Structure 1
Amino acid sequence: MTSGASSETLRIFYDGDCPLCRAEIGHYRTCDGADRLAFVDVGHSQPAPTLAPGLTHAAALRRFHVRTADGRLVSGAEAFAHLWMNLPGWRWLGRLIGLRILGFRPVLAIAEAAYRLSLPLRPRLARWVSRRDARQRR
């Protein structure tokens, strides 16, 4: 992980058909620094986007992925850390997750475990966000 924001584009792959993912990415798009990022909707309703080497459409739908400015593909908590490092208001969280102690990144390990535990809950959370959005539109 880089120690600061990159002037090159970070490509963020997300499932635009998921209400939860859409809401979260919608928030990040409003943050300072988001104009330097490329958000790629890989949802089923979109025409198949051109994905980076090493990333299948199925994998992009299952987990959050980021292609770094240097071409590395990362997913899960590490992908969020890269995203946050590129958004000034969130940089502190990206740094916390990337913190190395004796060559180990314990916060990243905990964040990744939490991310993996949240994946089975994603459909329920997405339904909750969808119902909440429907109520707000009324």
Structure 2
Amino acid sequence: MSNQLSSTNHTVEVFYDGECPLCLREIKLLRFLDRNTRIRFTDIATADFNAAEYEKTPAQFMDEIHGRLPDGQWIIGVEVFRQLYAAVGLGLLVWPTRLPGISHALNFSYQVFAKNRLRLTGRCTKETCEVG
């Protein structure tokens, strides 16, 4: 794998957890909406995914959603969703999420979800959910 997206057609690459039922629901919707193949979907739960190839750790990818723009710039959290929905033509729905009050609420809500995602999807183990 390279640090750049191989296809110039993609406007964003999303790194998602293919074992997360809630995440998969969102990815299915985005795949359906992505009629112009503007999104590259990379499942971090597959056996052949190697976080080190991206100079990141598996924990970084699991802690919150990551995206990558064609120039190699990394984006995380709510900004990934903004880029994904803009890529499928829903930019008019994206711009209000940048307004100060809405932006802060979305960032806070996403952080709560990301921190509790494994617990919420019934995937806690001693290693993944135990408080140090």
Q: TM-score by structure 1 length?
A: 0.69
Task: Please give the alpha-carbon distance, in whole angstroms, between the structure 2 residues aligned to 1:68 and 1:32.
Answer: 16
Cα distance in 2 for residues equivalent to 1:14 and 1:42: 6
Shift of 1:91: 1.8
Q: For residues 62-101 of structure 1, give each alpha carbon's deviation from its aligned partner in whole angstroms, at most 9, with x where no partner exists.
A: 211110123211111111111111111x3223222234xx
Name the count of aligned residue pairs: 115
Corresponding residue of 1:97: 97
Matches within 5 A, 1:3-22: 7-22=9-24
Aligned residue for 2:56, secondary structure, equals: coil
8 Å CA contact retained: 2:15, 2:43: yes
Q: Would you say the 8 A contact 2:9–2:37 is kept in 1?
A: no
Which consecutive unaligned segments of at least 5 residues does structure 2 have? 1-7, 123-132
Aligned partner of 2:109 in structure 1 is 114
User: 1:34 & 1:46 partners in 2: Cα distance?
Assistant: 28
Distance in 1 between residues matched to 2:52 and 2:22, nearest whole Å: 22
The residue aligned with 2:129 is none
1:118-133 matches, cutoff 5 A: 118-127=113-122
Query: Does the 8 A contact of 1:77 with 1:115 survive in 2?
Result: yes
Per the TM alignment, residue 121 of structure 1 is displaced from its structure 2 partner at its CA by: 4.0
- C-alpha displacement at 1:8, in angstroms? 4.1
Change (3 A) 1:54 1:34: farther
Aligned AA (2:49): A
For 1:59, the aligned partner's letter is Q
**In 1: Cα distance, 2:11 partner to 2:56 partner:** 17
* Matches for 1:1-138 after TM superposition, within 5 Å: 7-33=9-35, 35-43=37-45, 45-49=46-50, 53-88=54-89, 90-99=90-99, 105-127=100-122
Q: Deviations over 1:1-27 (max 9, x none)?
A: xxxxx9543110000111111121011
Distance change >3 Å, CA 69–CA 20, structure 1 → 2: same
1:130 maps to none
> Which residue type is aligned with residue 42 of structure 1?
I
The 2-side partners of 1:52 and 1:78 are apart by: 22
